[in-house]
Amino acid sequence: MNNPVLTIVVPCYNEEEVLPETIKQLSQLLEELENENLASDKSKILFVDDGSKDRTWPIIYKQSLNNDKVRGIKLSRNVGHQNALLAGLSAAGKAADCAVSIDADLQDDISVIREFMLKFREGYEIVYGVRRKRDTDTFFKRSTAQGFYKMMKKMGVDLVYNHADFRLMSKRALEELQRYEETNMFLRGIVPLLGFKTASVYYDRKERLAGESKYPLKKMIAFCFEGITSFSVTPIRMVMALGICSFFISLLFGIYFLGLRFFGETETGWTSLITSIWMLGGLQLTAIGLVGEYIGKIYKETKRRPKFSVEIDAFNMPISPHLASD
Ligand code: UDP
Ligand code: MG
pLDDT digits (tens, 9 = 90+) for 74-126: 999 999 999 999 999 999 988 899 999 999 998 888 999 999 999 999 999 99
Q: What is the dihedral of CA 75, 110, 82, 317, to 10 degrees?
A: 30
Residue 4 has pLDDT above 80, yes or no: yes
Within a domain: 227: no
The H or E element that residue 71 is part of is strand 70-75
Within a domain: 113: yes
Radius of gyration of the chain (CA): 25
Kindly state the average pLDDT of the residues 307-317.
71
Within a domain: 267: no
Within a domain: 189: yes
Kindly state the average pLDDT of the residues 40-63.
93
Kindly state the average pLDDT of the residues 4-11.
95
Within a domain: 92: yes
Q: At what angle do helices 56-66 and 19-35 cross, to 10 degrees?
A: 30
pLDDT digits (tens, 9 = 90+) for 200-209: 999 887 777 7
Q: In which band, very low, low, confident or very high, does the pLDDT at 252 lie, cut at 50, 70 and 90? A: confident
CA of 296 to the centre of ligand 1 (A): 26
Kindly state the average pLDDT of the residues 15-24.
93
Give the ligand at the shortest distance from the Cα of 145: 1
Specify whether the CB–CB gap between 100 and 116 falls below 8 A.
yes
Residue 247 has pLDDT above 90, yes or no: no
Mean pLDDT score across all residues of the chain: 83
Kindly state the average pLDDT of the residues 13-17.
93
Q: Which residues pair with 99 in a beta bridge?
A: 7, 169
pLDDT digits (tens, 9 = 90+) for 271-291: 677 667 777 877 787 788 788
Within a domain: 207: yes
CA of 85, closest atom in ligand 1 = 7
Q: Give, as residue ranges, everything with CB less than 5 Å from ion ligand 2.
A: 103, 105, 107
Q: What is the pLDDT of residue 48?
A: 96
| Residue scoring higher pLDDT (127 or 278) | 127
Pocket test for ligand 1, best of 78, 81, 136, 219 (most atoms within 8 A of CB): 81
CATH code, domain with 168: 3.90.550.10
Among 100, 125, 127, residue whose Cα is nearest residue 199: 127
Query: What is the count of structural domains for the chain?
Result: 1
Q: In which band, very low, low, confident or very high, does the pLDDT at 305 lie, cut at 50, 70 and 90? A: low
Within a domain: 121: yes
Q: How far is CA 247 from CA 207, 256, 257, 258, 259, in A?
A: 51, 14, 15, 16, 18
Q: What is the pLDDT of residue 115?
A: 93
DSSP line for 280-310: HHHHHHHHHHHHHHHHHHHHHHHHT--S--E
Domain housing 20: 6-139+160-212
Q: What is the pLDDT of residue 271?
A: 65
CA of 229 to the centre of ligand 2 (A): 24
Using DSSP's 3-state secondary structure scheme, residue 73 falls into strand
CA of 208 to the centre of ligand 2 (A): 6
Q: What is the pLDDT of residue 22?
A: 94
Kindly state the average pLDDT of the residues 129-151.
80
Protein residues whose CB sits closer than 6 Å to any atom of ligand 1: 11-13, 15, 50, 78, 80-81, 84, 103-105, 107, 213-215
Q: Which of 28-37, 162-171, 258-267 has the lowest mean pLDDT?
A: 258-267
CA of 244 to the centre of ligand 2 (A): 43
CA of 249 to the centre of ligand 1 (A): 47
Within a domain: 298: no
CA of 104, closest atom in ligand 1 = 15
What percentage of the chain has pLDDT greater than the value 70?
Answer: 91
Q: What is the pLDDT of residue 134?
A: 66
pTM of the entire predicted model:
0.76
CA of 14, closest atom in ligand 1 = 11
Q: How far is CA 47 from CA 64, 104, 238, in A?
A: 10, 9, 42
